[in-house]
Amino acid sequence: MIDIRLEEMTRRFGRTVALDDISLDFPAGSFTSLLGPSGCGKTTLLRLVAGFEPPDGGRVMFDGETIADPSSQVPPERRGVGVVFQSYALWPHMDVEGNVAYALTARGVARSERGRRVRDVLATVGLDGYGTRRIEELSGGQRQRVALARCLIAESKIILFDEPLANLDMHLRAAMVEVFRGIHRRTGATMIYVTHDQAEALALSDRIAVMDGGRILQIAPPTEIYGSPVHEKVAGFVGRSTILEGELVGTSGGLAMLEVAGHRFAARTTDTARRGRACVLLRPEGLKLAAEGMQARVISSIYRGPVHEVRLQISGSDHSVVLDCVDAPPVGCMMHVAVTDAWVVPAP
């Protein structure tokens, strides 16, 4: 198992700062997902770890040993890192088996052993019996799974994934999520996983790192990223959310008391001494329609199965909130929204 450490790592392309002074530790055997908007630097980070890009500043360390800094870099083939990138980079002239077995052939693994391992790994990714197909005879999703198999067979101690499931349908994605969990459990490899799918990140990882503009906004376990985001952008990026502005007016039993549109409720906070204006995060499951609460008008209702997603405009505020109801109230009617859980977004 290998510990990956990034220290003050910076990467520029002309005037674009793709990675801006990132310091981050990926403990040995951890599974970290990288989430963030397009262009925030996720692929660049992976490329630096794999060795396809040099850092302009800072260093990459494996188990305490510097393997890349601006003056010298260990080449990719000597890092022992497995990668599955957005583009699959398969060899079109070889069949599936040839592509998947490549790492073993290069290492001189005997033919019979190779054959067995290729069959095993193809079964793992759901491509049983596809060994002799040519790459151009495969669909996009099948090619993606070949790329995955090719990476898995090498049994690397570090595996980097850049949206490895992007071309798969929902069912296959769900099945592959289970495959990843199994591989991680079995191999104990240190894994970094880039995805646009936050549900996937929440389901798969020990930790999620949310990036924006070449920086890390927060790195924490999924429950913390979802429930206690340190930044409005993190809150907005993961899960359904509403951020309201309110007034911190006091404390009660370790919770902050907030006033929003004339209504008071308690919210979790890191700083009970804070007073004045603050942003509060409301998730659908922390809200309910009740006899008392913020006055609000139903403005839309969408059936999501098994519940209706209901949006309500809060009276005396520009904001609307979203919650889930089994029985949807009619659009236009006035209701009360009670807050059962809320989070005060820490001051920047």
8 A C-beta contact, residue 243 and residue 236: yes
Rounded Cα distance, 167 and 164, in Å: 8
Smallest separation, CB 147 to Mg ion (Å): 15
* Complex with ligand ATP: residue 13 or 91, whichever CB lies closer: 13
Binding partner at 39 among Mg ion, ligand ATP, none, C-beta below 5 to 8 Å by kind: ligand ATP
Q: Which does 44 bind (CB under 5 to 8 A by kind): Mg ion, ligand ATP, none?
A: ligand ATP
Look at phi and psi of residue 36 and say left if phi exceeds 0, alpha if psi is from -120 to 50, else beta: left
Closest CB to Mg ion among residues 41, 227: 41
- Residue 97 or 163 having the CB closest to Mg ion: 163
Closer Cβ to ligand ATP, 42 or 184, answer by number: 42
Which residues in 172-185 are b (16+ Cβ under 10 Å) and which e?
bbeebbebbeebbe
Structure tokens at 336: 């009360």
Output the smallest distance, CB 14 to ligand ATP, in A.
6
Q: Provide the angle, in degrees to the nearest 10, between the axes of the packed helices 140-153 and 96-107.
A: 20
Nearer to Mg ion, 43 or 295 (CB): 43
Q: State the Cα–Cα distance between residues 32 and 17, nearest whole angstrom.
A: 23
Interface with ligand ATP (CB under 6 A): 13, 16, 18, 36, 38-44
Report d(CA 316, CA 221) in Å as an integer. Answer: 36
Contact 138, 68 (CB under 8 A): no
> Shortest approach of ligand ATP to residue 215 CB, angstroms?
12
Which residues pair with residue 8 across a beta bridge? Answer: none
Over the window 317 to 346, marking each residue x when it contacts Mg ion by CB under 5 A and - when it does not, the resulting string is ------------------------------
> Pattern of binders to Mg ion over 30-59, x per CB under 5 A?
-------------x----------------
Local structure of residue 91 (DSSP, 8 states): -
Nearer to ligand ATP, 38 or 112 (CB): 38
Structure tokens, 208 = 């999620």
- Among ligand ATP, Mg ion, none, the one that 270 touches (CB under a kind-dependent 5 to 8 A) is none
Minimum CB–partner distance for residue 19 and Mg ion (Å): 12
Cβ atoms of 156 and 78 within 8 Å: the answer is no
| Residues in touch with Mg ion (CB under 5 A) | 43
